[in-house]
Chains A and B, each alone.
Chain A
Amino acid sequence: MVTWLLSGDKPRSAILAALLIVILVCLAGAPFLFPGVRSLETAATICIFIVLAASYDLLLGYSGIVSFAHTMFFGLGAYGVALGTTHLGRSFGALATGTLAGALAAAALAFLIGLFSLRVRAIFFAMITLAVASAVAVLVSQLSNITGGEDGLSYRIPRVLTPAFRPFDEEVLGIRFTGKIINYYLVFFSCFALFLVMLRVVNSPFGRVLQAIRENDFRAEAIGYRVVRYRTTATCLSAAVAALAGAIYAIWLRYVGPDTTLSFEIMLDILLMVVIGGMGTMYGAVIGATIFVLAQNYLQNLMGAASEATHSLPLIPELLSADRWLMWLGVLFILSVYFFPTGVVGRLRAGR
């Protein structure tokens, strides 16, 4: 059963398996294990970024395609939900329609970009994605009557998914059970399912061909694989999953804006998650996204505390000041790339 779910792709390292189980249990029990708005927010973000990073790994790690448009596809899904609920009203039907429309639009756009640029050299694809992503970001901030511009859009989602919904009068397992928790489990289970689907795809005959193309596209073509078709399919698939992640994010946040879904910063974050976790391993996306989101959310606090604790020493409190968290994140990144060039997962699998 587990083998089937994981598509036969076992963690292949006891430590990695343990880490993954801990992450899974923590995320599955987050509302009860870590009550509080902020920790639930963090848990949901981790879930969504695991899917987003994994879908990027499908391109970068498994297919060897560098794309800078991944946040654009993420954004398409998010704006799909936002526009769907804005125009179709507050219903699950509107959410589903928006999600589906976003995913289809993402896949179609990816298909067009792929068709025009994947035939030629890989660097050309990277440049085209950069150009298209920038154009879309500008377009979204300019077309404010449709997209809300820089302010973004807030919208209403079905009441069952909001904090205002209280199905039980009494506390459940020590916490007040609200629609927000139902919403969290919607996020958790959709992300879990999407991750397993991607794990299946990379272990399918199709996934194996992607890896062959990454290794040696010349020979892949020579043994009869239509390389462009495989690369384009991978790009579409990855875009569609990114859009689904975006849609889930939009349902969770009840808000979309250029900064939360389209910014280039998020693009870099995804890249870091995949590289830190380990390219071409899927599980790397889980580890990378978890470390990264946790660091983003709690490194500041931790450093603030450390700064307090060392206030009597010279210089150190300055270095540990909470405002320096980005610098430390950078240091963390450089160290991890230096010591684990194959990512955390690659390192754990290699052993010792």
Chain B
Amino acid sequence: MISQTRETEMSHPLLETEDLTVRFGGHVAVDAVTCAFDAGELTAIVGPNGAGKTTYFNLISGQIAASAGRVRLEGQEILGLSVAERCRRGIGRAFQLTNLFPDLSVLENVRLVIQAHYHNGLGLFSMADHHRDLIDRAEAVLERVRLADLAGQTVSELSHGNQRKLEVALLIALDPKVYMFDEPTAGMSVDEAPVVLDLIAELKADTDRTILLVEHKMDVIRTLADRIIVLHNGALAADGAPAEVMASDVVQEAYMGRELEDV
């Protein structure tokens, strides 16, 4: 019985979307995207602004309801589930615009994620500060993203770069099966970005996970990505190994314009 279950799990990709579509009025923002993502793979999602990259993310993590299609996590349909439920099943999402708990401390932001993950029940009558294990885990995550020194700071007082790091920290704290990064280094200074990119490279080494990365910077894609998919007008325009996709003339001229030219 057990081996059978394992077998069915093994035969499925970690995450797949099938004809995933969403329409806003007459506008088709994501158009029948069928794509599978395997464990241990980092897929860069590229395309011009408005191509539907973030919307595609929103459909997978549940912030937007799909008009048609399917999303399966380890073979299980998750499209009908709430955002919170999908998160519990292992869909983790970091946001393009910083989206934190601004009046709480850095540590508390991470601790809340850890609590969501490791604390069962509502916990009405125990003291939050007595759950030392949760705090220890949160501190370990902050250590990893080099934010440990700022643990006590209120988030709204952090620099933009540090807020971006915290955004990544929340995702790492969640420890999901599917990591979705939406331009993780946007607006970061040249010396701050490597910290985040190194972290993503570290995560990549973990073969149980799959990483989806929306990114514009070609040098980042070149160093990190195992695979590139190109979205254009909501539809899948290209899918393949980085060198292959970047070399294809169609992609170069029609879809990426100048963005793909060497920086």
User: By the criterion of a CB under 8 Å from any partner CB, how many residues of chain A are at the interface?
Assistant: 29
User: By the criterion of a CB under 8 Å from any partner CB, how many residues of chain B are at the interface?
Assistant: 36
B104 contacts A211, C-beta separation under 8 Å: yes
**A219, B111: Cα distance in complex, Å:** 14
B83 contacts A233, C-beta separation under 8 Å: no
Task: Tell me if A178 counts as interface (CB < 8 A to partner B).
Answer: no
On chain B, the residues within 8 Å of A206 by CB distance are 122-124
- Interface flags for B157-176 (1: CB within 8 Å of A; 0: not) read 00000000000001000100
On chain A, the residues within 8 Å of B104 by CB distance are 211-212, 215
Q: Tell me how many residue pairs across A and B have CB atoms closer than 8 Å.
A: 92
A204 contacts B116, C-beta separation under 8 Å: no
CB-CB contacts below 8 Å: B111-136 with A = 111-113, 115-117, 119, 122-131
**Nearest chain A CB to B88 CB, angstrom units:** 5
What is the predominant secondary structure among interface residues of chain A facing chain B?
Answer: helix
On chain B, the residues within 8 Å of A221 by CB distance are 82-84, 87
**A324, B111: Cα distance in complex, Å:** 51
**A7, B130: Cα distance in complex, Å:** 10
B101 contacts A215, C-beta separation under 8 Å: yes
With A224-B116, A225-B116 already in contact, the answer to whether A208 and B108 are too (CB < 8 A) is yes
**A225, B82: Cα distance in complex, Å:** 10
Q: State the B residues within 8 Å of A (CB).
A: 61, 63, 82-85, 87-88, 93, 95, 99-104, 108, 111-113, 115-117, 119, 122-131, 170, 174
A8-B127, A203-B128 known, 20 other contacts, Cβ within 8 Å: A7-B127, A203-B129, A204-B124, A205-B122, A205-B126, A205-B128, A206-B122, A208-B128, A209-B115, A212-B104, A219-B95, A219-B99, A219-B101, A222-B83, A223-B113, A223-B116, A224-B84, A224-B113, A224-B117, A226-B84
A-B contact pairs, 27 of them (CB 8 A): A7-B127, A197-B125, A201-B124, A203-B127, A203-B128, A203-B129, A204-B123, A204-B128, A205-B119, A205-B122, A205-B126, A206-B123, A208-B115, A211-B101, A211-B104, A215-B102, A215-B103, A216-B100, A216-B102, A220-B101, A222-B83, A222-B99, A223-B113, A223-B116, A225-B84, A226-B82, A226-B84
